[in-house]
C-alpha cells in the first residue's frame, strides 16, 4: 500500500528528486517508516543524528560520529550544512542567501525574562511548573533550565567548558526533539531534567556524587528521549521500521536516543578538550543511563534495586553502585508525572494519552492492529493512569522511598496517592467504560508495555 505524506527530511547535499518536486511537497513511500512521517532510511544519510543504510551491505552508520576536533571544516555553506539538522540547515541556507531570519527568542520582554529568572531560583522545588517556565522562555525551557543547572552545579568551571559550545549543544538537543509530539518533546525532557536535579540534591546522593556523576546525569536526562518519533517500540517492530531492524527489536528507541546524544556531543565539540579515553567513557556511561529508561526492563532493574535494599549493601562510595542509583534516579525522573501536583500531573496525563491515541488512529487507518492503551474508543485517561500508577509507578517509587526516605520521597508518594484517588473519582463518574484496565496492565507482557511507558 502506497501512502503519501508531506515532504520529510531529505539528504542535505543531494538535489530533491524530481518525483518529489512534481508532487508539490508530497512524497510517496511504500516503506512502513512513512506511517508516521519518517522518510525511507536510505534518504536519511545526511540527517544529523539519523541512521543511513549503505546500499551495498546494509550497514547502519551514524553520520555525525565524527568529532569536530578531528576534521578541518572551512566556513562555507556547503560544509556547514553537513553538520546541521534539517531545521537548522534551512535557517543557515537563508543566512547564506542573505535572508534575515527573525530570532523568536529576542521578542521576550524584560518582564518575561525576569519571571523566568525568578523561577530558576526555585528550580529545586518539586512543584516547579515546567509548562509556565516554557512559556516564559518562549519555548526554550530545555536550553534555559539545563544551562542554569550546569552553572548551578559548578560543572562549567569544573570541566572548563566553553559556554558557547555548551549553549550550542543544548540548542541542538532542544531542536532535535519533535515539537509536534504531544508528550515526547523538549518540555518533557526539561521536566525530567528538573526532576533529576531534585534527586541529585537528596542527602544520600548529594554527599556522595562526584561532578562527573552530576554531569552524566544531567546530560542523560536532557537527551533521554532525543529524536523520539511519537510512537512506541511495538509499533516500530510491527511496521518493520529500520530502527527496529538496526537494533534487533531490543531497546530500539533508547538506543536511538543514546546514539543521537553521542552524535550531538561530538558535533558540538563540547568535550573535545578531554582525552579520548574520558570522552569514550562518558559516551558509554550516558548510554547506560538512557538504556535504563527502557520500560521493558523495568522488572529487572526493580528486582536488582529491591535486592540491594533488602541486603543493605549499597555503598555510594563504590562508583558502580553510584552509577546504578543514577540509573534508578533517571527511571524515577522519567515517569514521575503521577508524583507531581494534580495540576501538573493532569496535564501530562492528557498529553501522553493524546499521543497514545494518535498512534492508535494510525494503526486503525492502516489496519495494523491497535496497540494496548491506544484505542480512543475503548480507553480513557482515567483508566490508563490508574493502571500505569498501580503497576509501574507505585512499585518503583515505593522502593525509591526505601532508599531515600526523605521529605521529597514522602511528598511524591503523597501526590501519587491523591492523584490516583482523583482519577478513580473521574472513573466512577464515567459510564462504566474501561473498568478492566487494571487487568489489562497486569496481563500485558513486559515487552508489550508501551516503550518508555509512553509516560517517559
Q: Looking at the predicted structure, is the pLDDT value of residue 88 above 90?
A: no
Query: What is the rounded average pLDDT for all residues in the chain?
Result: 81
Q: Looking at the predicted structure, is the pLDDT value of residue 144 above 60?
A: yes
How many whole angstroms from its chain centre is CA 180?
A: 14
Q: Using DSSP, state whether 202 is helix, strand or coil.
A: coil
Q: Rounded distance, CA 49 to CA 186, Å?
A: 16
**Among 5-9, 164-168, 274-278, 305-309, which stretch is predicted with the lowest mean pLDDT?**
5-9
Q: In Å, how far are 27, 44, 64, 84 from 243, measured between CA atoms?
A: 20, 12, 17, 21
Quick: pLDDT tens for 317-352: 999 999 999 999 999 999 999 999 999 999 999 999
Set 19, 148, 184, 241: catalytic member: 184
CA angle 305, 308, 314 (to 5 degrees): 110
Q: Rounded distance, CA 291 to CA 289, Å?
A: 6
Q: What percent of the chain is modeled with pLDDT above 90?
A: 69
Which pLDDT score is estimated for 442? Answer: 52
Cβ proximity of 4 and 27 under 8 Å: yes
Q: Rounded distance, CA 76 to CA 83, Å?
A: 11
Q: Rounded distance, CA 436 to CA 423, Å?
A: 15
Per-residue exposure over 206-245, b if at least 16 CB sit within 10 Å of its own CB, e if not: eeebeebbbbbbbbbbbbbbbbbbbbbbbbbbebebbbbb
User: What Rg do the C-alpha atoms of the chain give, in angstroms?
Assistant: 22
Q: Rounded distance, CA 79 to CA 46, Å?
A: 12
Q: Is 197 annotated as a binding residue?
A: no
Quick: pLDDT tens for 279-289: 999 999 999 99
Q: Looking at the predicted structure, is the pLDDT value of residue 434 above 50?
A: no
184 in active site: yes
Nearest to 33 by CA among 362, 355, 453, 371: 362
Q: Is 224 annotated as a binding residue?
A: yes
What's the mean pLDDT in 117-136?
97
Q: Rounded distance, CA 4 to CA 37, Å?
A: 9
Q: How many CB atoms lie within 10 A of CB 21?
A: 11
Q: Which residues contact 372 (CB under 8 A, 6 or more apart)?
A: 440, 444, 448, 449, 450
Q: Is 184 annotated as a binding residue?
A: yes
The grid coordinates of residue 440 equal 489489562
Quick: pLDDT tens for 154-200: 999 999 999 999 999 999 999 999 999 999 999 999 999 999 999 99
Q: Is 385 annotated as a binding residue?
A: yes
**Domains by residue range for the chain, with CATH:** 3-73 (no CATH), 110-334 (1.10.1300.10), 339-443 (no CATH)
* Confidence band for 111, pLDDT divided at 50, 70 and 90: confident
Q: Is 148 annotated as a binding residue?
A: no
Amino acid at each position: 500500500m502506497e501512502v503519501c505524506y508531506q515532504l520529510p527530511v531529505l539528504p542535505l547535499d543531494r538535489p530533491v528528486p524530481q518525483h518529489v518536486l512534481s508532487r508539490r511537497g508530497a512524497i510517496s513511500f511504500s516503506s512502513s517508516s512513512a506511517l508516521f512521517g519518517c522518510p525511507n532510511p536510505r534518504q536519511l544519510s545526511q540527517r544529523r543524528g539519523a541512521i543511513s543504510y549503505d546500499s551495498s551491505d546494509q550497514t547502519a552508520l551514524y553520520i555525525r560520529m565524527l568529532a569536530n576536533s578531528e576534521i578541518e571544516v572551512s566556513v562555507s555553506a556547503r560544509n556547514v550544512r553537513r553538520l546541521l539538522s534539517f531545521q537548522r540547515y534551512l535557517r543557515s541556507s537563508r543566512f547564506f542567501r542573505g535572508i534575515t531570519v527573525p530570532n523568536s527568542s529576542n521578542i521576550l520582554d524584560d518582564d518575561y525574562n525576569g519571571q523566568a529568572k525568578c523561577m530558576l531560583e526555585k528550580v529545586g522545588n518539586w512543584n516547579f511548573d515546567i509548562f509556565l517556565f516554557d512559556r516564559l522562555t518562549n519555548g526554550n525551557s530545555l536550553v534555559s533550565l539545563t544551562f542554569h543547572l550546569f552553572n548551578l552545579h559548578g560543572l562549567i568551571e569544573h570541566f572548563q567548558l566553553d559556554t558557547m559550545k555548551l549553549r550550542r549543544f543544548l540548542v541542538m538537543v532542544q531542536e532535535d526533539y519533535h515539537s509536534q509530539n504531544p508528550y515526547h518533546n523538549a518540555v518533557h525532557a526539561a521536566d525530567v531534567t528538573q526532576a533529576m536535579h531534585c534527586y541529585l540534591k537528596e542527602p544520600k546522593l548529594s554527599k556522595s556524587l562526584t561532578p562527573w556523576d552530576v554531569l552524566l546525569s544531567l546530560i542523560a536526562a536532557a537527551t533521554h528521549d532525543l529524536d523520539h518519533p511519537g510512537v512506541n517500540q511495538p509499533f516500530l517492530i510491527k511496521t518493520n521500521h529500520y530502527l527496529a531492524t538496526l537494533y534487533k527489536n531490543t531497546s530500539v528507541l533508547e538506543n536511538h536516543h543514546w546514539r543521537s546524544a553521542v552524535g550531538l556531543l561530538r558535533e558540538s565539540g563540547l568535550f573535545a578538550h578531554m582525552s579520548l579515553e574520558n570522552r569514550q567513557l562518558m559516551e558509554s556511561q550516558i548510554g547506560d543511563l538512557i538504556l535504563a529508561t527502557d520500560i521493558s526492563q523495568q522488572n529487572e532493574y526493580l528486582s536488582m534495586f529491591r535486592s540491594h535494599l533488602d541486603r543493605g549493601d549499597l555503598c555510594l562510595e563504590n562508583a558502580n553502585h553510584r552509577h546504578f542509583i543514577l540509573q534508578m534516579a533517571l527511571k524515577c525522573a522519567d515517569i514521575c508525572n503521577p508524583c507531581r501536583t494534580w495540576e501538573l500531573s493532569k496535564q501530562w496525563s492528557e498529553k501522553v494519552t493524546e499521543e497514545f491515541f494518535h498512534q492508535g488512529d494510525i494503526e486503525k487507518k492502516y489496519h495494523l492492529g491497535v496497540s494496548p492503551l491506544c484505542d480512543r474508543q475503548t480507553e480513557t485517561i482515567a483508566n490508563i493512569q490508574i493502571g500505569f500508577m498501580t503497576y509501574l509507578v507505585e512499585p518503583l517509587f515505593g522502593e525509591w522511598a526505601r532508599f531515600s526516605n526523605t521529605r521529597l520521597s514522602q511528598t511524591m508518594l503523597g501526590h501519587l496517592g491523591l492523584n490516583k484517588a482523583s482519577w478513580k473519582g473521574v472513573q466512577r463518574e464515567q459510564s462504566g467504560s474501561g473498568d478492566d484496565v487494571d487487568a489489562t496492565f497486569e496481563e500485558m507482557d513486559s515487552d508489550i508495555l508501551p516503550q518508555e511507558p509512553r509516560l517517559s
